[in-house]
Structure formats: C-alpha cells, structure tokens
Structure 1
C-alpha cells in the first residue's frame, strides 16, 4: 500500500518538540479520489487508534470511505509507530507521521479545533500540554513563567510528501529540496491517454510564465498530470489548478487563498494577458512584460541557473517519479518533462503502442556525463536520458526503480542533475536506456535545429519551447489529428528561418558570373535536394534543412515540398 509522510512546518518561539497530544489525536484533511479525481466535499477526520474493517478484506484501516462520484472504496491508516516531534524553529518541514493510503490524495490539512498539542520550553523545559488552535487559526501564543518569556506557534501547516525510510535523508538534505509538492489533475475536456502519466517539473520563478500555455495545449489532452515543484510552488500551483478547474467545469466557488506573484514573476513574465486569462490565471496580479523581450529568441540552456527553481531541480526527479507511481498506479507509461517542454502525446502513443509496458523500458535523448558517482571520464557512467527532452519509463522500469529509490535519494544527493540521478537509480535497479523510440529533441524546430533526418519521423518532445511555438505546435497537432511529422514541423516553423541563410554540404561551382537563380534550378534538377545556398559564386545543396548561419552577400532557399513525408 502506498505511503505518504506528513511534513509539518511552523515557526516556534522558545518552544521545541511540538507534537499531537497522543495517538487518539483527530487529524483533519481534505481528500480526493485518485480514480476519478473528484474532491470529497468538506473535511474528513480520523485518528490512529480507532480501526474499521476494510470492506471485502480481512484488513482494517483508520479511515474507510467510498467516493461519492465513482463509488471507489478508499482507505487510510496512520502508522502508530511513525509519530515524531517537530523540533525546528526555522519553519522548515519535518516528518511527524506516516500514512498508508489507498485511493486517496491528501490535498490540504488543518489543526483540528478542540484537539491539543504538546511542546516543551526550549530553555526552561516547561511542559505545555494545552496548546489548542481555534477554528480557522494556525497560531497559538502563551507565556513560560519558569523561563520568563513569551512562547508561541506561528503559521502551522502540514502536507504529504513521498515516504522515505531514511530519516537521514530528511535531516541531511535542505528541507526546501525535499518538500516536493505535486498537484494531480484530470483534464475534464478529453480524458485521453489514460495509460500515460505526466510529471511536469517547474519552480516558483517560472510557474506563471511557462505552464499556462502548456495547460492550454498538450496538457488538455492528458488524463494524468502532476505539477512537481518546491514548497513555494505548491501554493501557487494549487491556486492555478483551482482556477483552471473552475474555467473548465464552470464552477462558481474557489477553495483556498491564492498567493500573490513575487518579484521573480514580475521580472520574467512574458505571457500575453489573453493567454493568462484563457489559462485561468487572470486572478493573479497582472505584471508588466520583461524589457527587451523581443530579443529573447528562446530559453537558453543554463539561462535560469541563478533561480531557486533551477538549484532545486536536481532534487525533484526521483521523488517526482515516486509520486507519479503512487498517484497513478494504473498507468503503463510515465514521462517527466520541464516547464518549457512540449509533448506530442499522439506521437508518443503511436510509438509505445507496440511495446509491453510491464517490461523495463527507459527512453530519452541519450547523454554521457562526468562528475557524479565518481565518473571522471565520458563513457565511464551509464548513458542517461536528458531531462528537458523527456524521460519516458515503463511501469515495469518504474516498479523496479521503486525498490531502490529511497536509497538513491540519499546515495546520489550530491549529484548535480536530476536526470543523471534518474539514470543512475535506474541502473541500480538493473534498467539501462533503450533505443526503440526516437523523437526526443533538446531544442525546438527553429533556426538552430538540425533537420538532417527523415521527414517522416514523428517527434515526441521538444525542449526550450517558447509559448508562441507551443501554440503553433498545438495548432499543427489539431490540423493533423495529432499525427505530426518532422516535415510538417519544418514547414510550420519555417517562418522562423525567413531571411536567414541555410548551411549546405558539398556544392556546384557556378563560376565568376554565376547567377543565384541557377542555384535554385540546380537544386530542383536533383530530386534529393531540398535546400540550397548561394554563397559568393558557389551553390551548396542539401537533402535536409540545416542549422542557420548568417553570411553577408549570400542567399538561400527551400523547396518545401521536397522535405515532406
């Protein structure tokens, strides 16, 4: 049965060892069904002492409930031996309990009115056994007579995180790295691709500038989606998801407070207001667009290395895959991408359809590395799938990885990249990268893209994709009912190559007085030629469109119908 750790955060003033009064403490949660993704109306509460028989089972659980929408039987149990006291005074999360759950997502928590907590004075050792939070409140204040000082608990919060058997992982890892948050969604518009689960990594600096267009395009075609980020992303992501659900379902009420956009959003916001509105984000503060944004051709690899989201990114992959496996146990295939990636789900579906998901498959754009796991030279370590271009694993591979993932989180904590950690962990599970699939690309089909491949290839993922490119790609999918080829991609994005020069290989010398019109004619006379470049007095021809280079006094052209499937 899947397990979740309940992580607590609070600001403690002159207190330590904060904990519930006992195992009979009534925990209050908001939950939703993992089968139909309907949220249960109202709060539910249960404790670790009272047990009920699970219907049609010999087992027992602290909570048994049937989903009111799809009638799925769900249950949850708080492990009695998992209780721990909260000792931090910095507001960082710590595990205080572990919950076994089947069929439930825990999406919110509150301190239960009428239930008490216990703590000790940090210096005096005075026991406070009557800490009680009023309904709707998350703060408590008191006075320590022995220590002659005020005491208090401020902004107490709790939420689920992937279970780890290693307390050292929680002690030694910065808490903000471990406080992975995810929002599971089911698109109410299509509910397609139920066999695929998508993990979308993001950070609080980029959440509102990148994910809206993904929500409006390929994510609307998906049934199972997780937004994976740090603690600050959780609040923003939840606010975004609530608004998106309202937009799609026509719901009138919102539950929970929506946070304001911090300065990082203002600085990097490049979305047109209409895109924000259609993505359901117009409730958030509208901010001016970034200066000189017309010069930003695309997101450059390494551009965001200074952001907190980038620094925390390496800590998201392994817990993220663990969350995907726990949230969507019925999925056959799992894919993890970045918040500037575009996934062509129909193309992915067509390529995986002939494969047996119970076998251990691991797909992506293969890369070598140095610097992790003692690897000092290229080729010493296992080939790993580059994260932004998409990491696809079968249920068989992920099941194998789950047996070692907790060890991997600790073992590879110092490795600088999450996709490398994933490759190392899969290797430890006996899974190596496979080559049956192609179509993983680390850049979009723009002027830097090398189209030297068959025009009939069907791409699966493009990375570093701008919002306008995502919209164009989505339109292309709609026109072709999802069956998009590289030839169609080139013809659609060839507008990005206007007034640019194509670099060709080989060529025909036209002489001192050569005319560039002859170059195009020579290309048309060769049935395999699709692009030509006239440079000086030389005509270069190529079978495939190549990356663009700019040269004074040159021109080029493309015979579009030649590069087609």
Structure 2
C-alpha cells in the first residue's frame, strides 16, 4: 500500500485538494515501476478514481491496469481513500498530510506530477478558489473579502509506503466481510498479516480473531483506518 502525501505552505487558504468529482474527475499522474523486474515505464501514466478496468485472469477490477513490457506481467492499482483536503498544519514542524491512499498489486508509483486543477477555501472567509495550478510548485491569488493576497508555496509531493503498525481495514471480495487490525507484515503480492484483528460481517462486529493471514486474491480493497469513514462501510 502507498499513500500520496503533500507538504505545502498555505497563506490565507485552507482545504486544498484536487478538483475531483464524477462529472469532472481528477487524473492522478505517476511514474510507475514493475515490482517484479524493477523496470520503470518511461512515460507518465494517468488515471481517475472513477475508472473501472477488468483485471485479466481475475474477477476483480481496478482504477489502473498495466502490463509490463519487459516481464509481461499484468499489475493493477486502485485509489482506496481520499482525496483528503490539506489543512493549515497545527504543528509547523509537521506539515506533511495524506491526500490519497493506493492499493498497488505488483507495481509501485515512484513519482507524482500535479497535473490538473486543485481547489481551496479562504482560511478566514467563505471565498472559494478553483482552477489552482500546482504544476510549478506555487500559486498566488487575491481574496477580496479578506483584502489580502493568498498563496500556496513550497509544494512538495511524496509517495510513502504504509508502515508496519498501521491500523488497516480490509474488505473481502465476498460475504460483506471486513477485517480491522494492525499491519504485521505485507509482501510484494499483497498477502497481508494482521494482528489484533476484528471481523465485521454485514456491518456487525462478530468478534476478535487475533493474528490473521489474508491472501491477496481474497482482498477487494484495503486502506488505513484513519482514511476511511466507518459510517461509509456501515461498521458499528
């Protein structure tokens, strides 16, 4: 699992995020690397979280499906959480915040390019800003209601691995079953070992399972628990 994280200096604005709706989706643009042969695709690839592509040889779907030309293996990735709005950091020494989370099967994203429009709101006013271009790493405008210039500067994107110890939610492909537990280990095929695991079926907690190994071909999607609204899953 990977997350796309953002660090920025916000002046006069907050709630910075991609303009991303089903009617006008945002296309996330990455450089992609095959985890099997370590070959990096020479071109940028783009996909939206609303795209659905069949995965060859599987009943599953993904936002992005890619066949490596060097080793011939087919890999996939899906956005499992987000986009989250970037807020003015409470701690100026810790400015990095997650924007999206990705479930990657057999591939890695190594670099992100901020193509497309972003949006934000006035930090102290209801002013809405759209069409924000972050491709140059900075943006300036004027908030008439506040009577001052606003800006987004020192924009930096980072792709991070979800670390051992992260609390995850995993949904299986059948039975309306979810597992919630702490990541103990994960391999390149996305086989996951969870500890302190709780099982939910049809939104109801059925008890604690302890240490659980979940094979990759059983997983519909997974995301860190703090990136998923439990009410969206129906978990209680």
TM-score, structure 2 normalization: 0.67
For the residues of structure 2 that align with 1:82 and 1:406, how far apart are their CA atoms?
24
Of the three residues 85, 96, 99, the one matched with 2:99 is 96
Give the total of aligned pairs. 179
* CA gap 1:43/1:405 in 2 versus in 1, 3 angstroms: farther
> CA separation of 1:7/1:133 partners in 2, compared to 1, >3 Å: closer, same or farther?
closer
Name the SS for the 2:131 alignment partner. Answer: strand
8 Å Cα contact 1:20-1:118 kept in structure 2: yes
Larger radius of gyration: 1
- Equivalences for residues 201-240 of structure 1 within 5 A: none
- Residue 406 of structure 1, CA deviation: 9.8
Partner of 2:177: none
Q: Deviations over 1:207-248 (max 9, x none)?
A: xxxxxxxxxxxxxxxxxxxxxxxxxxxxxxxxxxxxxxxxxx
Correspondent of 1:4 among 2, 5, 30: 2
Cα distance in 1 between the residues matched to 2:14 and 2:196: 32
CA distance in 1, matches of 2:160, 2:38: 18
Contact 2:197-2:211 at 8 Å conserved across structures = no
* Per-residue deviation, 1:34: 0.5
| Equivalent residues in 2 for 1:382-401, closer than 5 Å | none
Deviation of residue 161 (structure 1)? 2.6
Q: Determine if contact 1:7/1:160 at 8 Å carries over to the other structure.
A: yes
Confirm whether residue 145 of structure 1 aligns to residue 148 of structure 2. no
Q: Secondary structure at the match of 1:404?
A: strand
Matches within 5 A, 1:461-480: none
**Residue of structure 2 in register with 1:404 after alignment:** 195
Question: Residues of 2 paired with 1:116 and 1:71: CA distance?
Answer: 34
CA deviations on 1:340-387 (whole Å, 9 max, x unpaired) are xxxxxxxxxxxxxxxxxxxxxxxxxxxxxxxxxxxxxxxxxxxxxxxx
Match of 2:228 in 1: none
1:144-174 Cα distance to aligned partner (Å, 9 max, x none): 11111111111322233344447xxxxxxxx
Deviation at 1:429, TM superposition (A): 4.8
Could you say which residue in structure 1 is the equivalent of 2:42?
A: 41
Q: Does the 8 A contact of 1:139 with 1:154 survive in 2?
A: yes
Q: Counterparts of 1:15-34 in structure 2 under 5 Å?
A: 15-23=13-21, 24-34=25-35
Task: After TM superposition, give the deviation of residue 129 of structure 1 in Å.
Answer: 1.3
Mapping of residues 530-541 of structure 1, within 5 Å = none
SS in structure 1 at match of 2:140: strand
RMSD of the TM alignment (CA)? 2.8
- SS of structure 1 residue aligned to 2:125: coil
Tell me the distance in 2 between the aligned counterparts of 1:70 and 1:36: 6
Tell me how far apart the structure 2 counterparts of residues 29 and 82 of structure 1 sit (CA, whole Å).
Answer: 16
CA–CA separation in structure 2 for the residues paired with 1:69 and 1:130? 38
Higher relative contact order (CA closer than 8 Å, sequence separation 6+): 2
d(CA) in 2 for partners of 1:108 and 1:144? 32
| Distance of 1:405 and 1:7 partners within structure 2 | 27
| Residue 154 (structure 1) aligned with residue 131 (structure 2) | no
TM superposition shift of 1:125: 2.5
Q: Which runs of 4+ in 1 moved over 6 A?
A: none
Secondary structure, aligned partner of 1:403: strand
Structure with the higher fraction of residues in helix conformation = 1
Q: Distance in 2 between matches of 1:109 and 1:63?
A: 15
Q: Structure 2: which 5+ runs fail to align?
A: 169-181, 199-209, 213-236
2:108 maps to 105
Q: Deviations over 1:235-271 (max 9, x none)?
A: xxxxxxxxxxxxxxxxxxxxxxxxxxxxxxxxxxxxx
Cα drift, residue 4 of structure 1 = 2.2
Q: Is the 8 A contact 1:30 1:43 kept in 2?
A: yes
Contact 1:106–1:159 (8 Å) recurs in 2 = no
Instruction: Say if 1:84 and 1:95, in contact at 8 Å, map to a contact too.
Output: yes
Q: 1:62 to 1:429 in 2, by over 3 A?
A: closer
